[in-house]
Chains A and B, each alone.
Chain A
Amino acid sequence: MIPLSWYLMLAAALFCVGLYGMLAERHLITMLMSLELMLNAVILNMVAFARYLEPQALHGKTFALFIYALAAADAVLGLALTVLVWRNRDTVAIDKINTLKG
């Protein structure tokens, strides 16, 4: 059986890639994808812990399911905002969305 730590390392790597994408990327769609990566890392973590630490209990799995719902809500809202910005400005490059100072 694959040891737990492998899953955790994969999740940590996914999370870091997502975080890097959120911080460094300049395109809105790529940023939304990075956000999904971060949430996927959380789900992977939860499921792996649940499988290895308490295979009988449901805490971790329930938690993971709820994160799915949340990730979906976040994605919907993010895409809606992207479409809104696209319609109003004809661009989704984050550098060009800078009417508010600061």
Chain B
Amino acid sequence: MSLTSLPDQSLIFLLPELILLGAILLILAVDLLAPVARRWILYLSLLGVVGAGGATVSLWGVNRRVFAVLSLDNFALSVNVIALIAVAVVIMISKDYAYTNDNQPALFYTLLLFSAINICFLGAATNLVMIMLCFDFLSIGAYILTGFPRGDLHANEAALKYFLYGSTLSAVLLYAMSWLYGFTGSTDLVGIAQGLQNWSVEAIQQGGSPLVFVPLLVLMVAGLSYKVAAAPFHQWAPDVYEGAPLPVAAFISVGPKLAGLALFVRVTLVLFPATLQLGMRWRWPLLGLIAVSSMTFGNLAALWQDNIKRLLAYSSIAQVGYMLIGITVASEDGIAAVLFYMLAYVFANLGIFTAITIYESQTGAVNIGDYAGAHKRAPFLAFVTTFCLLALVGFPTTGGFVGKLGLFAAAIKGGLGWLALLAVINSVISLAYYWRVIRAMYFTPLWTESPVEISGIYQVALGVTLGGVLFLGLLPQFVLPLFQAAAHVFFSH
């Protein structure tokens, strides 16, 4: 039976999410009924993620609205795949943490898979109700994961700050959504775009100004920027990265960011034709400003950090700035480059986080200086970290290079060459602080030569991330066409 002959309400279209849900129920059942099998929970959740990945791949090419609130297209499926890769790596590196913290692996993996479901839905959501629900449930899962170690003062504080910051900005986003509904009488993105067009034609004929939408769009962009931790709304990120348990910080550095970017792309590209007709070239003033401030501020602040987690927080703020360039351009190439760069970023950032998780649990290293001599104590770990850091800079042979090339080329083609120029300057600045970590690992004399042990599943995580970065850098021709097809769904009509 082919997928196209199925009705819109067929559960087949929700297969990836249903598999994740099944894995969650299974984990909870195992935890309740067979406590002796708790050590298999990790592999069970990994299996669920792989299964969901398989289901996603089998749905590739479907392009239709399902359940009235989801648009199941190649873009949504690409977001699914990236999210599942990220969650799989996080599951692997959380082994030690989940099994030592009050012995509650079931709760931890359930929350992680629940967050994965929300990211998958958010990639496809086209209705404001669906968007709002997934957006906030993803946040709530992240707050709980951050505050998971109950006795840990830093984790408490990080969770509290994240919660206060996040809930305020999601209320701001909701307020903007309520006005969008008021203007257009629709809660669907396509309906809103239609409504805005009709509304504006009438209003402009009667001498009205489309400028009334500007505050609305500012509020909306503010809410979305919090989710991706872009510059004026980034203050929570360094504290949360520092205070949260490391595997959770690894997840927060990629999961909510991916979901926020997917939402950014969909909202921008669906509403964009309408706003253009309003005579508003709001894209580059607003989004371009956030992109520039994000990469500049992130890079400059990262220069002064000693704590490696805070350094990574500021680095991730800067990375989001590069990705926002692709959304500012809003061309087919730009969106494809955003997806490609996001995947490269997921591999590179998680590679570094894997290395830090291993190193911190064995040596208690917190600051960059503590990584002195890492290449003698754990050669493979130091190599992976170095390579991933170079990928974040955009060094040739890594995925980061191809991604950045795509983003800058799209910017130049879209007439925003100055944005590409600023991004290149920023990449050069970023080399300064990434280099500090590499220098500590390779060129600073070591205090001790006791080797750092890396257990099996962590080796796999290091291998996967390194392999991903290399594959994207050396053989991008296998991945780029897929993301081109994903970006094409916004431009095919």
Q: Is the CB of A49 within 8 A of B181?
A: yes
With A45-B182, A60-B187 known, 5 other A-B pairs at CB within 8 A are A22-B164, A49-B182, A66-B133, A77-B163, A100-B154
Instruction: List chain A residues, Cβ under 8 A from B186.
Output: 59
Contact with A along B140-168 (1 / 0, CB 8 A): 10011001001101101111110110011
Measured in the bound complex, the distance between the Cα atoms of B163 and A82 in whole Å is: 11
Q: Is the CB of A102 within 8 A of B181?
A: no
Contact with B along A76-98 (1 / 0, CB 8 A): 01100110110011000010011
CB distance from B316 to the nearest CB of A (A): 15
Instruction: List chain B residues, Cβ under 8 A from A57.
Output: 185
Instruction: List chain A residues, Cβ under 8 A from B238.
Output: 100, 102
The 5 A-B residue pairs with the shortest CB-CB distance in the complex, in nearest-first order = A45-B178, A38-B171, A49-B182, A100-B239, A42-B174
Q: Is the CB of A63 within 8 A of B156?
A: no
With A38-B171, A70-B132, A100-B239 as contacts: A60 and B181 at CB distance below 8 Å: yes
Q: Pick the contact of A54 from B151, B160, B185, B242 — CB < 8 Å?
A: B185
Using a CB–CB distance below 8 Å, which chain B residues touch chain A?
A: 128-129, 132-133, 136-137, 140, 143-144, 147, 150-151, 153-154, 156-161, 163-164, 167-168, 171-172, 174-175, 177-179, 181-182, 185-187, 235, 238-239, 242-243, 310
Measured in the bound complex, the distance between the Cα atoms of B223 and A38 in whole Å is: 14
Measured in the bound complex, the distance between the Cα atoms of B239 and A89 in whole Å is: 18
Instruction: List chain B residues, Cβ under 8 A from A31.
Output: 164
CB distance from A78 to the nearest CB of B (A): 6
Q: Is the CB of A22 within 8 A of B168?
A: yes
Q: Is the CB of B140 within 8 A of A77?
A: yes
Instruction: List chain A residues, Cβ under 8 A from B168.
Output: 19, 22, 35, 38
CB distance from B249 to the nearest CB of A (A): 12
- 11 A-B residue pairings within 8 Å (CB atoms): A19-B168, A38-B175, A42-B171, A42-B178, A63-B178, A81-B160, A84-B147, A84-B156, A88-B156, A100-B157, A102-B310
Q: Pick the contact of B167 from A49, A63, A74, A100 — CB < 8 Å?
A: A74
Q: Is the CB of A81 within 8 A of B133?
A: no
Instruction: List chain B residues, Cβ under 8 A from A81.
Output: 143, 147, 156, 159-160, 163
Instruction: List chain A residues, Cβ under 8 A from B171.
Output: 18, 35, 38-39, 42
Count CB-based A-B contacts (< 8 Å).
Answer: 110
Instruction: List chain B residues, Cβ under 8 A from A60.
Output: 181, 187
Find the B residue at minimum CB distance from A35: B167
CB distance from B419 to the nearest CB of A (A): 28
Q: Is the CB of B154 within 8 A of A99?
A: yes
Instruction: List chain B residues, Cβ under 8 A from A67.
Output: 132, 174
Measured in the bound complex, the distance between the Cα atoms of B171 and A78 in whole Å is: 14
Q: Is the CB of A88 within 8 A of B147?
A: no
A73 at the interface (CB under 8 A from B): yes
Measured in the bound complex, the distance between the Cα atoms of B181 and A66 in whole Å is: 15
Q: Is the CB of B185 within 8 A of A53?
A: yes
Q: Is the CB of B129 within 8 A of A63?
A: yes
CB distance from A27 to the nearest CB of B (A): 12
With A77-B144, A100-B239 as contacts: A63 and B310 at CB distance below 8 Å: no
Q: Is the CB of A49 within 8 A of B159?
A: no
Find the B residue at minimum CB distance from A86: B156
Find the A residue at minimum CB distance from B176: A42
Q: Is the CB of B163 within 8 A of A78?
A: yes
Measured in the bound complex, the distance between the Cα atoms of B179 and A102 in whole Å is: 34
Measured in the bound complex, the distance between the Cα atoms of B398 and A82 in whole Å is: 44
Instruction: List chain A residues, Cβ under 8 A from B239.
Output: 100, 102
Measured in the bound complex, the distance between the Cα atoms of B154 and A18 in whole Å is: 27
Measured in the bound complex, the distance between the Cα atoms of B153 and A15 in whole Å is: 32
Instruction: List chain B residues, Cβ under 8 A from A8.
Output: 182
Instruction: List chain B residues, Cβ under 8 A from A102.
Output: 235, 238-239, 242, 310
Measured in the bound complex, the distance between the Cα atoms of B167 and A5 in whole Å is: 27
Q: Pick the contact of B242 from A28, A46, A88, A100 — CB < 8 Å?
A: A100
User: Would you list which residues of chain A between 44 and 66 have a CB under 8 Å from chain B?
Assistant: 45-46, 49, 53-54, 57, 59-60, 62-63, 66
Q: Pick the contact of B175 from A41, A49, A84 — CB < 8 Å?
A: A41
Instruction: List chain B residues, Cβ under 8 A from A28.
Output: 160
Q: Pick the contact of B181 from A35, A63, A99 — CB < 8 Å?
A: A63
Q: Is the CB of A74 within 8 A of B178?
A: no
Determine which residue in A19, A42, A60, A89 has the highest number of CB atoms from chain B within 10 A of its CB, and name it: A42
CB distance from A86 to the nearest CB of B (A): 10
Measured in the bound complex, the distance between the Cα atoms of B151 and A31 in whole Å is: 23
Determine which residue in B144, B158, B167, B187 has the highest number of CB atoms from chain A within 10 A of its CB, and name it: B167
With A81-B147, A81-B156, A84-B150 as contacts: A46 and B243 at CB distance below 8 Å: no
Q: Is the CB of A77 within 8 A of B132?
A: no
With A60-B181, A77-B143, A81-B163 as contacts: A45 and B175 at CB distance below 8 Å: yes
Find the B residue at minimum CB distance from A38: B171
Measured in the bound complex, the distance between the Cα atoms of B168 and A69 in whole Å is: 16
Find the A residue at minimum CB distance from B166: A74
CB distance from B216 to the nearest CB of A (A): 12
Measured in the bound complex, the distance between the Cα atoms of B174 and A66 in whole Å is: 11
With A18-B171, A42-B171, A84-B147 as contacts: A63 and B187 at CB distance below 8 Å: yes
Measured in the bound complex, the distance between the Cα atoms of B243 and A57 in whole Å is: 46
